[in-house]
């Protein structure tokens, strides 16, 4: 690891700081472990460590070293989940133990290592990828949910053996399931004090140290103090005195701060205890919290080192507090520590999740602004694409680079909200596709091109998918596209009684496809944060049961699709906000969606005869809105293209 460069030391000396060089070295290593943003370094940028995380099968020596370590600890096996302590979508590099051990880079997975065998559990998305990334002789792949780790444990563990787990990485609910499975095998599920993978990972990077910065009221719309007070009230109403918050986006929203410890998502990793009086104990590395942020957090937020969380939980037991935890996501470490301390647990949903999901008026104004800006960039891209793709030379990465450049040209982009999916032809049918030099295709005439992308702006997070005809689409493509569009419009136009969940609405988006014997294997809509995670709960629109009613201010995506393997993919995604519907003579309170995303839907892909009058009307109205809102924000060429791209649909 490099020591801090002289100019950094000089900079700090100028500001009157005289840091201890070894502390500074540790700091710089943490900074280097934070992901790179697009907006340029918030902090001094250093070289990235060689941390052994390559996109390739891991050397067999790693598994051997782990087994030796397990033997030293008298463990029959060990569980290596993909998750970190926060169970989030992105895992910082120092927590990528599954990737280091196996080479697997997917967003969900689990390895179990026994002395004589090892298994890796992945879902249907990764059945192909796992064979390229993992030595499948060493780690035998199993597909969940058909083959469950619980069943494998019950069948494979030796009677009397101890299966170790890291209690920071196992959730309370997950722990219960695995412990039962061990019981069935006559084995034991035992927590370890320190993770044995860490003991054998020589170049393991440190925890990331991206700066934590204020998220001012002009974007947040509500002070942290009022948020903390009202949520503390909700915690009390659940019968608890204190809530343990383990989700970093909940902490970011609650305290009106943003960070950058993981890619594409502006939050800082940490834990928080919210007390009944609205006071928060924030367990977070002091080094990533600048003084101005400390001042911003104020007196009612106490910053403490992460390793003091345990003592704080013990103290809650001493004073007889009842503590709310979300058992689906909280580490079993915390639950065990609390129970040992004599604390009564109240298992309930993260109390921040629902208030965070319901955006306030200021947040909604910011989000609308972000969508106008983003829609102008996307429209510029689509116009360019229409001209550029005619040459028949354009490839996937050049296209997504252009889109990113246009977003950057807004001057407001902080980061992408996720890695762009830029899929031509058959690549569009791969739902979680990411173009590489090896995989990328040319946008060829007679094909469809699917691009799913989004930006992180301080005033809002965007997420949009458009599917564009390159040349002339086939009648089948137009039929499928129009059915997807019918589903999109059914949801976009829907009014529904207050109390309705996304699960109840999901079929509206699928009906037109179902009638033709077609469906798509992903959810119809996910929640989206306000300059936070592009995927957030607690609501969603999906086949999966979900008991959270849609409520005014919630953002959710509307993204039905259709995928023909080895041929083409179609998805039409806008973000929408839930709002009150004003209906004369309504028999109760109704809600509806306000479409936020503003960019043309490709008319060349539509078969107008398949649309009802009401659907055509919706499309024309939407396109008029796109033209009138985005038109003034774009250049001449794009404006001319937009006029044509948003024309009214003629019935033949």
What is the binding site for its own copies (CB under 8 A)?
Answer: 490, 493-497, 500, 503-508, 511, 514-519, 543, 545, 547, 581, 583-588, 590, 612
Residue closer to its own copies by CB (options 575, 591) is 591
In angstroms, the CA 603 to CA 449 distance is 14
Q: Which residue(s) pair with 323 in the sheet?
A: 242, 345
SS3 per-residue string spanning 574-643: EEEEEEECCCCCCCCCEEEEEECCCCCCCHHHCCHHHCCHHHHHHHHHHHHHHHHHHHHHCCHHHHHHHH
Q: CB 613 → its own copies: shortest distance, Å?
A: 9
Residue 510 Cβ, how far from its own copies at the closest point, in Å? 8
Instruction: Kindly state the smallest distance separating residue 451's Cβ from its own copies, in Å.
Output: 23
- Determine the Cα–Cα distance for residues 503 and 491; give it in Å rounded to an integer: 12
**Is residue 338 a contact partner of residue 319, using CB atoms and an 8 Å limit?**
no
Angle at 418 between CA 413 and CA 423, to 5 degrees: 110
Q: How far is CA 284 from the centre of its chain?
A: 21
Quote the least distance from Cβ 36 to its own copies, whole Å: 40
Residue 309, CA distances (Å) to 210, 273, 313, 315 in order:
21, 9, 6, 10
Q: Which of 6/613 has CB closer to its own copies? A: 613
- Cα dist. 93→82, 98, 119, 596, 640 in Å? 11, 11, 22, 34, 46
Separation of alpha carbons 572 and 299, rounded Å: 47
Closest by CA to 395, choosing from 431, 425, 429, 432, is: 425
* Nearest CA-CA partner of 510 in 478, 487, 480, 540: 487
Query: Please, what is the minimum distance in Å from the beta carbon of residue 316 to its own copies?
Result: 22
Question: Between residues 167 and 502, which has the closer beta carbon with respect to its own copies?
Answer: 502
Nearer to its own copies, 350 or 506 (CB): 506
Q: Which residue has the tokens 């791969």?
A: 430
In whole angstroms, the minimum distance from the beta carbon of 610 to its own copies comes to 11
Tell the smallest beta-carbon distance from residue 173 to its own copies (Å): 18
Determine how β-strand 536-541 pairs with β-strand 525-527: antiparallel
Q: In Å, how far from its chain's centre is CA 84? A: 14
The CB-of-545 to its own copies minimum distance in angstroms stands at: 5
Residue 486: CB minimum distance to its own copies, A = 12
DSSP one-letter code for 150: H
Q: What 3-state DSSP class applies to 443?
A: coil
Of residues 2 and 127, the one with the C-beta less far from its own copies: 127
Q: Are 431 and 564 in contact (CB under 8 A)?
A: no
């Amino acid at each position: 690891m490099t020591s801090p460069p002289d100019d950094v030391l000089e900079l700090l000396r100028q500001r009157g700081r005289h840091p201890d060089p070894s502390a500074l070295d540790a700091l710089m290593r943490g900074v280097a472990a934070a992901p790179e943003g697009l907006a340029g370094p918030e902090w001094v940028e250093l070289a990235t460590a060689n941390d052994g995380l390559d996109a390739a099968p891991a050397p067999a020596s790693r598994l051997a070293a782990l087994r030796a370590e397990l033997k030293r600890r008298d463990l029959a096996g060990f569980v290596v989940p993909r998750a970190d302590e926060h169970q989030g979508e992105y895992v910082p590099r120092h927590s990528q133990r599954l990737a280091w051990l196996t080479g697997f880079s997917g967003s969900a997975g689990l390895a179990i290592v026994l002395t004589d065998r090892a298994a890796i559990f992945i879902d249907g998305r990764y059945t192909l990828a796992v064979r390229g990334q993992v030595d499948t002789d060493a780690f035998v792949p199993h597909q969940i949910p058909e083959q469950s780790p619980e069943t494998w444990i019950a069948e494979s563990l030796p009677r009397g053996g101890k299966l170790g787990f890291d209690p920071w990485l196992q959730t309370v609910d997950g722990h219960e399931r695995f412990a039962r499975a061990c019981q069935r095998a006559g084995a034991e599920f035992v927590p370890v004090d320190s993770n044995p993978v860490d003991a054998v990972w020589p170049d393991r990077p440190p925890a990331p140290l991206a700066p934590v910065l204020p998220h001012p009221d002009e974007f947040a719309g509500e002070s942290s103090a009022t948020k903390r007070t009202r949520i503390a009230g909700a915690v009390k109403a659940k019968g608890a005195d204190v809530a343990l918050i383990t989700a970093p986006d909940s902490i970011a929203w609650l305290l009106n701060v943003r960070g950058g410890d993981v890619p594409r998502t502006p939050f800082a990793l940490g834990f928080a205890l919210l007390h009944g009086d609205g006071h928060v104990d924030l367990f977070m590395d002091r080094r990533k919290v600048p003084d101005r942020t400390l001042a911003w957090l104020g007196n009612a937020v106490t910053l403490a080192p992460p390793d003091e969380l345990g003592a704080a939980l013990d103290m809650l037991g001493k004073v007889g507090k009842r503590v709310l935890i979300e058992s689906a996501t909280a580490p079993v470490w915390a639950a065990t520590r609390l129970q040992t301390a004599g604390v009564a647990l109240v298992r309930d949903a993260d109390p921040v999740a629902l208030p965070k999901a319901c955006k306030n008026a200021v947040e909604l104004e910011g989000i609308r602004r972000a969508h106008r800006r983003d829609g102008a960039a996307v429209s510029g891209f689509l116009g360019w694409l229409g001209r550029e793709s005619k040459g028949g030379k354009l490839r996937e990465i050049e296209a997504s680079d252009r889109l990113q450049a246009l977003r950057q040209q807004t001057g407001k982009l902080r980061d992408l909200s996720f890695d762009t999916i830029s899929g031509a032809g058959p690549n569009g049918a791969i739902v979680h596709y990411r173009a590489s030099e090896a995989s990328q295709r040319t946008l060829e005439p007679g094909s469809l091109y699917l691009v799913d992308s989004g930006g992180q702006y301080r005033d809002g997070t965007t997420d949009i998918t458009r599917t564009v005809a390159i040349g002339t689409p086939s009648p089948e493509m137009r039929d499928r596209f129009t059915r997807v569009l019918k589903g999109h419009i059914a949801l976009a136009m829907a009014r529904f009684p207050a109390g309705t969940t996304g699960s109840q609405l999901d079929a509206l988006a699928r009906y037109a496809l179902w009638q033709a014997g077609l469906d798509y294997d992903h959810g119809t809509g996910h929640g989206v944060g306000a300059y936070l995670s592009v995927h957030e709960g607690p609501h969603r629109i999906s086949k999966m049961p979900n008991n959270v009613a849609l409520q005014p201010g919630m953002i959710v995506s509307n993204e039905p699709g259709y995928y023909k393997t080895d041929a083409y993919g179609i998805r039409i995604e806008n973000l929408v906000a839930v709002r009150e519907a004003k209906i004369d003579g309504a028999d109760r309170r109704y809600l509806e969606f306000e479409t936020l995303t503003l960019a043309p839907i490709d008319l060349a892909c539509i078969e107008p005869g398949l649309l009802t009058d009401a659907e055509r009307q919706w499309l024309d109205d939407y396109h008029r809105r796109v033209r009138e809102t985005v038109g003034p924000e774009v250049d001449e060429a794009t404006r001319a293209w937009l006029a044509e791209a948003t024309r009214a649909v003629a019935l033949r």
